[in-house]
Structure 1
Amino acid sequence: MSLFNWVSRRAGGLSMIWLIALCYWVISRESSLHQHRYKYEQPDKQGSYYSSTSTTGAGIWTFAFAYYCLFIHVLVCLFPMRACWTVWNLTKTLKRAAHSHSLLDLKKLASRRGSYTSVSSSETLTSSHNGASSSTTSEAGDLDPESYTDGVSTAADNVIHVIVIPNYKEEYDTLKETLEVLASHSRAQDSYDVYLAMETRESNGETKALGLMQEFAKKFRSIDFTMHPSDIPGEAAGKGSNIGWAARKLSAKYSMGVRKDVIVTGIDADSHLAADYFALLTNMHLAYPETAATTIYSAPIIFDRNAHNVHPLVRVADIVWVAAGMSGLYPGSSIAPPTSVYSLPLDLIDRVGGWDCDGEAIGEDLHMYIKCFFALNGNLTSRVINCPVSQSNVTGGGASGWRGAYADINARYKQALRHMWGALDTGFAMRKFVEMWQERKHISRAYQPLHCTQVDGADLFIPESQFSDEGVHQPIENGIFSDITKDTIKEPHWEHVFYMVHRIFEAHFLPVHMAILVVASTVYVKVTEGKEDPHNLAWIFNWCNVIRIFGFLQISIYLFMYESFHRVGVAARERAMVKAGLADGMDFSRRGLRKNWKDYLMVPLVAPLYGTIPSAQALICQLWNQDLVYTVSKKATRRQAPPAPRVDDMA
């Protein structure tokens, strides 16, 4: 292993050590700073004049410490600002979508009663290519393909949605409920290919998959399962290796002619996706054909199922985690990393060679995003599906009292550590950046379908002589390499690369660096209090205090705005589940100030407990070991004796 590879894999831990050393050096030197005062007397004038000079200190390192402290404070302040922007825009979009669905329901009801029959529902809510739109569409404000849905099949819709559900030791009822939600969609039988990605490490995994297949065989276009072996050299147990194996297996089922319209969506075992998710996904894929093969789709998540049954610390931790995911999903964002659930075309998976399966890819969502980003020289298109994905909070087992609280808090900490272990993606991005720089002038690429890229575990060699420089994105017609696709990608998009560096730094460095600098700057101000300011840096630390207060205020604003987002999201999901007949036994976690006032008191504890501490633990451990034993978080299961369903009214 080269020195660069060694350093890149430990970049986060080494940066933490460097920052601690810098803070210690500056504080120790500045605390012992002495000033010599010289007295000057002038015979012609009364009085004496004094001048002072500093003979010790940290010199230029004091400036580095102060300005880096200001820089980190500014970055931390930008994070909640983007989250507030996203949650406000998303709430507005959800309310508009709910209004649109209400108009559609009223129209269908009136149509059944014979009130009017001249315009069909698909004509009402589907914008045509010639720009025509109905008055109902205009009123709903849903002309943008990224905003409107119709839930009705169209002639031009040949998109196949491949839904992969990687799981290990998940409850049968959890998987069943997820499949029931998917099966309730109107397009499930026409365009959903579901793959249960099981593990051979689970003794009853195949039996579980066969039972689910038998139960849902007629409810999807197809349903199948894969068994990921546990003894593949170089692989690490986890979601990335599981979905990677499933992708290689399912790839063989789609011919070259249909692959461009096959979209793969990876979800968690407990993820509930609304029908609008796939309707929006289809609309965007068909509306932007020029970038359809190089687009990854992200969606916000919402913990709205068992949040009322977990400890407030866990609940608030997940609300802040939602903010972290939302911070990149604001309108116009060119870098929108996914959280847990995301979609990408099969053609893009072919281009990048599928998912990585080693221990470095434990955070497979961001890892795959980074891999696609640099494979396209930063020209990856990111689109946001404004349809929140319902998730359940982790739980420690449902015990009551302080034992149950401790179990919930401990389970969430383990999940946080797994999230923070994704800091390994920093090194991965550094190496991919170097590769992109080295190959920046070579924009001609060739690739095969994913299932053809390996022969007996070795990468298949594609000779340059098999393709010419002419033609873009064209398969080669003859010979054993007839399924090779030649493509020309754009030159590196350096602005996007800059934004990507910012997001990676924000995700993997800020939690620890901010905590270190808050403590260090406080100590620095304390030890230099009452002394002169020879470096003229006092204003920086004063501004840092102001920025911290402003950042905390922004988090409070985000929590307030989240209340509306959560209320609208829960109501939309409940309405859909009642309509599908699945609301019985399903939890809907509602929020209210009277019921959740304790959440606001937990905010100061959440950042260190589920941000700084697990991040520091991950960075320290990665200095000598990059492998984390992947543990499955326990999820809430469906209740057996449900109350009567209720649909909230939306303002």
Structure 2
Amino acid sequence: MTEIFHHFFELVAPLTALAAIFILPFGPIFFPRTYIWFLLTYFTVFLYISINHFLKFCITVRNIKRNIRDWNARREHQSTSRDYTTKEVVKSSATSNERTTPTRNGYTSVPMTDQFDSDTRLNEMENALKIYDDGHYIHAFVIPNYEEPEALLRDTIKRLAQHRNATTTYIIVLAMEESEVDHASKAASIKRNFDDSFLDFIITVHPKDVPGESRGKGSNVAYAAREACDYLVRKFDRRRVVFTITDSDSAIPELYVRHVEKALTESEDPYNTICSPPIFFSRNALNVPAAVRVTDIMWSIMVMQNLSNPRGLAFPCSTYSLSMLLAEQVGFWDTDKDAVGEDLHMWLKCFFKTGGQARSVPIFVPINLTNVETTSYISNIYARFVQAKRHYNGVADVAYSLKSAFSKNGHSLDTESLLGSSPTTMTAATTYTSSSGKRPSCLMSCSFFDKAMVVFHVLEAHMIPATSGWLMFAAVPITQFLLISTYSPIADYYPSFQNPIVNSDFYAYMFSLVQAVGVLLPMPLLLCAMIYEGLHRTVDAELFKKGNSETRTWKNYTDYMWLPVSAWLFMTLPSTWACVKRLTRSEEKYVVAEKIFTEAIVE
């Protein structure tokens, strides 16, 4: 019976995508009443989900801006404190309830209450991030790459080298592929550029043609993490090591690492915590076609809204951090062709294999990525389409999540196996028990509701792209043509056909509702886009320190004219193809997204 269900789960994605296509012409003809009810239900649920996404996106935007501004205020406070440590501030009047504070032109008086509130807020920020100064965790940055520009890799690593604790707590794991020509000289050249910049620099070389493995980021990360673990456990306490999995083009701000430290320190169960940040495309966005830009903006928006999940069920994308203990206990990253969506798949594996104990903590600090970029407009569009096809191959996680959620044998690791059986490791578990006496989340069981919500979010991530483009764009026009148009071919071929929209006032009204809701469907996403524009400029100016000429302006609002093209070309078509391909489970040739990078660019 289990095998039957597993086989059925494999069919969910392809059958859903095919049903969305075939229902368009045949639904109005063979079951028109049911079809109208289906459209109204689908559109209403989609609108509800979109509104929910909009609200969560607003929360994420607020938190990102707050973190950036608190970080800048803290740095400005530290800078001001250093500038004035040698100056004495003398009260101008003993009877005044004011004190003098330094300004650009000298000293001025401000109400003591205002200054006290400001100092209190800054002190709170200092205390919240102070744990980072102690350097408790060792951060191993795993950077998988294959045929990426060497200049891009150097720039990505250089940004990490500029962090304050890079020489004391950062370890670079440069994950090379044996199948890349001259990978050894390339890795050696990169390592030479960063002598004494990090605590350690490890180079791993993933062998080619490993039986049962599928080429891609997941298999490279799995090999690199295992090799790094074997090396690092001989030098450090494994409880201190945190893996940050990233991409070759990920510019990671120091603020991200600080908040990872803060999240792990405050977590009741740091060994089951997965830190998930938002993604952001700003490194070369002005150099690519508008259709590519707006596609990646929509991708960023979807990741951002996903982070504000109150139950810790937020999926990571591209970059994320987790403890070495968690990676070891779940058996590291899967490497078969069903694990091509490495980031989401690893999150699902951690969640299900720990019985729902592993959860996400959102890190509201954007990771800056690079858009796909080539030398010509058409080739750039094609390269983004190829990248989209590779991304949507992660639809394999639909079957994986269904199998894991509804398997009778569900995987679960108890606390002892998760933290290790040694007395010292078990003692560490009690260290993170909250002062309120709550049981750590690692001791809590996973409810059926949580599993169902995870499956729902996975279905939402993969089934909506494969169905919404067909139904949102084509369902209403085709239905109008078949049932309402004077040129409808149905009357010629089926003279006895009873048209419910024409013959029934009720179904005519229902179809009017379908049309009205259909008009509203894109509105929440457009509202997200408008809010995103303000966020983009804030992040560029206040976190990445870009000038006005280097960021988006009001002219970029015209980018959204490309949304219908982008939705079809980079979402509907590749996601549908990925779903249908699951029927054969064939594997495509792995193609790296092309990127052009000029090392002289400095942010």
**Fold shared, TM-score > 0.5 on shorter chain:** yes
Q: State which of 548, 564, 575 in structure 2 corresponds to 1:604.
A: 564
> Which residue of structure 2 lines up, in the alignment, with residue 523 of structure 1?
478
- 1:282 alignment partner AA: E
Q: Is the 8 A contact 1:149 1:276 kept in 2?
A: no
1:70 aligns with 2:50: no
> Which residue of structure 1 lines up, in the alignment, with residue 170 of structure 2?
192
> Which residue of structure 1 lines up, in the alignment, with residue 265 of structure 2?
286
Deviations 1:276-326 (A, max 9, x none): 1111111111122x2101110000111111111111111111101101111
Cα distance between partner residues in 1 of 2:122 and 2:503: 60
Cα distance between partner residues in 2 of 1:588 and 1:503: 38
> Which residue of structure 2 lines up, in the alignment, with residue 408 of structure 1?
380
> Which residue of structure 1 lines up, in the alignment, with residue 458 of structure 2?
504
Query: What's the secondary structure of 2:143's corresponding residue?
Result: strand
1:83 aligns with 2:57: yes
1:433 aligns with 2:405: yes
**Shift of residue 215 of structure 1?**
2.3
1:267 aligns with 2:256: no
Describe the shift of the 1:511–1:472 C-alpha distance in structure 2 as closer, same or farther (beyond 3 A): same
Structure of greater relative contact order (alpha carbons < 8 Å, 6+ residues apart): 2
> Which residue of structure 2 lines up, in the alignment, with residue 572 of structure 1?
542
> Which residue of structure 1 lines up, in the alignment, with residue 102 of structure 2?
none
Cα distance between partner residues in 1 of 2:201 and 2:508: 65
Q: State which of 227, 252, 277 in structure 1 corresponds to 2:205.
A: 227
**Shift of residue 105 of structure 1?**
2.4
Cα distance between partner residues in 2 of 1:227 and 1:521: 53
**Shift of residue 639 of structure 1?**
4.4
Q: Is the 8 A contact 1:310 1:393 kept in 2?
A: yes
Give the structure-2-normalised TM-score. Answer: 0.82
1:562 aligns with 2:563: no
Deviations 1:157-179 (A, max 9, x none): 42110111000111111111111
Describe the shift of the 1:547–1:196 C-alpha distance in structure 2 as closer, same or farther (beyond 3 A): same
> Which residue of structure 1 lines up, in the alignment, with residue 288 of structure 2?
310
Deviations 1:433-467 (A, max 9, x none): 133x4347x764765899xxxxxxxxxxxxxxxx8
Q: Which has the higher helix share?
A: 2
**Shift of residue 268 of structure 1?**
0.6
**Shift of residue 77 of structure 1?**
4.5
| Residues 573-588 of structure 1 aligned to structure 2 (within 5 Å) | 573-575=543-545
> Which residue of structure 2 lines up, in the alignment, with residue 16 of structure 1?
17
- 1:346 alignment partner AA: M
Q: When the two structures are aligned, how many residues end up with a matched partner?
A: 549
> Which residue of structure 2 lines up, in the alignment, with residue 178 of structure 1?
156
| Residues 313-462 of structure 1 aligned to structure 2 (within 5 Å) | 313-330=291-308, 332=310, 334-396=312-374, 398=375, 404-435=376-407, 437-439=408-410, 444=414, 447=417
Q: Is the 8 A contact 1:88 1:561 kept in 2?
A: no
**Shift of residue 207 of structure 1?**
1.3
1:101 aligns with 2:75: yes
Which blocks of at least 5 consecutive residues in structure 1 are unaligned? 32-57, 117-133, 399-403, 451-466, 476-486, 578-582, 647-651
Q: Is the 8 A contact 2:326 2:418 kept in 1?
A: no
Cα distance between partner residues in 1 of 2:565 and 2:51: 18
**Shift of residue 260 of structure 1?**
1.6
Query: Kindly, what percent of the aligned residue pairs are identical?
Result: 26
| Residues 238-253 of structure 1 aligned to structure 2 (within 5 Å) | 238-253=216-231
Describe the shift of the 1:325–1:139 C-alpha distance in structure 2 as closer, same or farther (beyond 3 A): same
Query: What's the secondary structure of 2:171's corresponding residue?
Result: strand
Q: Is the 8 A contact 2:389 2:575 kept in 1?
A: yes
Give the structure-1-normalised TM-score. Answer: 0.77
Describe the shift of the 1:548–1:180 C-alpha distance in structure 2 as closer, same or farther (beyond 3 A): same
Which structure 1 residue ranges, 4+ long, deviate > 6 Å from structure 2?
Answer: none
**Shift of residue 388 of structure 1?**
0.7
> Which residue of structure 1 lines up, in the alignment, with residue 554 of structure 2?
593
Cα distance between partner residues in 2 of 1:345 and 1:180: 24
| Residues 464-475 of structure 1 aligned to structure 2 (within 5 Å) | 473=426
- 1:607 alignment partner AA: A
Which deviates more, 602-611 or 179-188? 602-611
**Shift of residue 364 of structure 1?**
0.2
> Which residue of structure 2 lines up, in the alignment, with residue 635 of structure 1?
595
Describe the shift of the 1:406–1:159 C-alpha distance in structure 2 as closer, same or farther (beyond 3 A): same
Which deviates more, 181-190 or 91-100? 91-100
Cα distance between partner residues in 2 of 1:79 and 1:557: 11
Cα distance between partner residues in 1 of 2:371 and 2:402: 33
Describe the shift of the 1:345–1:77 C-alpha distance in structure 2 as closer, same or farther (beyond 3 A): same
Q: CA RMSD in A?
A: 3.4
- 1:163 alignment partner AA: F
